[in-house]
């Protein structure tokens, strides 16, 4: 997404990249970024915790207005938990420290659409028929 | 590791891939100064466009496939996040399917508009699926599609800041 942010900004629109993967974002070097210390898959907050999510987004958006130097990452005061034990096991993908996976922590890379519900397939096929 | 520090996923994934006998993965590295478009209005007057790479789609749309899908989906932001589906090969989908706001925070952004924290939300959000293994395809296929969608939104209305939410 860092590369996408750079392209959007180059085309004349300001961006803010939220990130839970600080080193990957630092490498891609988007114009403005806000880091949250969350497991992968939870970038915008804890599930069913609107207060947490609103605080996270408010801090992130406000941070965008503090950045004057292109390529800045602001470290927000937002984290998954005071207990940081999840970081011990977190690698990437499915094995994010909240859930454990053995070996390759990614699902198979399949070339066919992967629907959440089987009924979605029928709906999509009807819409594109 | 020092648990107070962010997890270095580049280091960890490099070690993991090495242990599995995979080819090392090359993350995009752009050390040059990033492009820059100044913010012109305060947050409370700014219209935010959401771009999420968590693989969101809505019923009636073709879902993303899991092999370098560089397509995008347009998702109306006047619909609740609970109507959004998500599909992705590289993160645990269960919590995001239970509350899509954690990867596609459209409910929270609408509430922030109502509260006056932000000026507005663009009528459509753009969804894509991250984990494109080819930086070239991300830059030559995905990025232009998203830029085109943002430009179309700006032709029809305002977009002052694009908020990118990866997973």
A41:B35 CB<8 A: no
What domain range includes position A74? Answer: 2-128
Backbone angles phi, psi at A50, to 5 degrees: -60, -35
Which residue has 């403005």 as its token pair? A32
User: Across the interface, which of A19, A23, A88 has its CB nearest the CB of B166?
Assistant: A19
Q: How confident is the model at residue A104 (pLDDT cuts 50, 70, 90)?
A: low
Residue A109 has pLDDT above 90, yes or no: no
Q: What is d(CA B52, CA B125) in angstroms, rounded to the nearest whole number?
A: 8
> How high is the pLDDT of residue A107?
79
Domain count, chain A: 1
CB contact under 8 A, B109 and A40: no
Instruction: Tell me the pLDDT tens digit for each residue of B95-144.
Output: 999 999 999 999 999 999 999 999 999 999 999 998 888 899 999 999 99
pLDDT score for B132: 85
Per the structure, the complete domain to which residue B148 belongs is given by 43-165
* Residue B61 with chain A: CB contacts under 8 Å: 124, 127
CB-based contact A97 B160, cutoff 8 Å: no
Q: Kindly indicate the confidence band of residue A97, based on its pLDDT and cuts at 50, 70 and 90.
A: confident
In this complex, the residue of B3, B86, B139 whose CB is nearest that of residue A84 is B3
Q: In the structure encoding, which two tokens stand for residue A62, read together?
A: 């406000």
CB pairs under 8 A between A and B: 287
pLDDT of residue A94: 74
Angle B103-B99-B116 (CA atoms, 0-180°, nearest 5)?
70
B1 domain residue, yes or no: no
Q: What percent of chain A has pLDDT over 90?
A: 76
Look at residue B49 in the predicted model and tell me its pLDDT.
98
Across chain B, the runs of DSSP E, i.e. the strands, are 47-52, 56-58, 73-76, 84-86, 120-121, 124-127, 161-165
A29 CB neighbours in chain B (<8 A) are 29-32, 34
Least confident of A105-109, B37-41, B112-116: A105-109
Quick check: is B5 in a domain? no
Query: In chain B, whose CA is at the least distance from the CA of A101?
Result: B92
Average pLDDT, chain A: 92
Say whether B147 and A7 touch across the interface (CB within 8 A). yes
| pLDDT score, position A103 | 56
pLDDT at A96 over 90: no
Find the angle CA(B27)-CA(B33)-CA(B34) to the nearest 5 degrees: 70
Read off the pLDDT band of A128 (50, 70, 90).
confident
With CB atoms and an 8 Å threshold, state whether A116 touches B28.
no
| pLDDT score, position B13 | 85
Answer whether residue B63 is part of any domain.
yes
pLDDT at residue number A74? 98
Tokens found for residue B112: 């922030």
Task: Give the mean model confidence (pLDDT) for residues A40-66.
Answer: 97
A6 in contact with chain B, both atoms CB, cutoff 8 A: yes
**A21–chain B nearest CA distance, Å:** 7
- A28:B29 CB<8 A: yes
Report if residue B11 sits inside a domain. Answer: no
pLDDT for the residue A102: 60
- Considering only CB atoms, which chain A residues are within 8 Å of B3? 84-85, 87-88
* Mean pLDDT of the residues in chain B: 95
pLDDT band at B90 (very low <50, low <70, confident <90, very high): confident
Confidence bin at A59 (pLDDT 50/70/90): very high
User: Is B9 a member of any domain?
Assistant: no
Mean pLDDT of the B8-30 span: 88
In a domain, B34, yes or no: no
pLDDT(B92) > 60: yes
| Number of domains comprising chain B | 1
Is B107 contained in some domain? yes
Binding-face residues of A in 17-56 toward B, CB within 8 A: 17-24, 27-31, 35, 37, 40-48, 50, 53-54
Return the pLDDT at A90: 85
Would the pLDDT of A8 be above 90? Answer: yes
Whether residue B62 is contained in a domain is answered as yes
């Amino acid at each position: 997404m860092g590369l996408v942010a750079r392209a959007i900004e180059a085309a004349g629109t300001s961006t803010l990249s939220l990130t839970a993967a600080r080193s990957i974002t630092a490498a891609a070097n988007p114009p403005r970024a806000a880091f949250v210390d969350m497991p992968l898959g939870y970038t915008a907050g804890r599930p069913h915790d609107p207060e947490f999510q609103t605080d996270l987004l408010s801090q992130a958006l406000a941070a965008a207005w503090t950045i004057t130097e292109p390529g800045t990452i602001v470290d927000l005061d937002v984290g998954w938990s005071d207990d940081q034990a999840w970081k011990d096991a977190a690698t990437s993908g499915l094995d994010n420290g909240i859930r454990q996976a053995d070996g390759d922590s990614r699902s198979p890379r399949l070339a066919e659409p992967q629907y959440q519900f089987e009924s979605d397939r029928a709906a999509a096929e009807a819409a594109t028929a | 590791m020092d648990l107070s520090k962010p997890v270095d996923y580049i280091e960890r994934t490099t070690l993991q891939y090495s242990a599995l006998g995979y080819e090392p993965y090359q993350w995009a590295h752009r050390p040059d100064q990033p492009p820059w478009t100044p913010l012109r209005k305060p947050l409370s007057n700014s219209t935010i466009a959401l771009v999420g790479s968590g693989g969101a789609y809505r019923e009636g749309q073709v879902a993303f496939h899991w092999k370098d899908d560089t397509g995008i989906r347009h998702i109306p932001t006047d619909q609740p996040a609970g109507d959004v589906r998500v599909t992705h090969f590289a993160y645990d989908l269960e919590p995001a399917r239970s509350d899509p706001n954690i990867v596609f925070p459209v409910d929270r952004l609408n509430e922030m508009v109502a509260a006056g924290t932000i000026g507005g939300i663009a009528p459509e959000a753009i969804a894509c699926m991250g984990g494109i293994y080819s930086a070239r395809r991300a830059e030559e296929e995905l990025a232009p599609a998203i830029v085109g969608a943002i430009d179309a939104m700006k032709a029809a209305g305002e977009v002052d800041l694009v908020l990118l939410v990866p997973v």
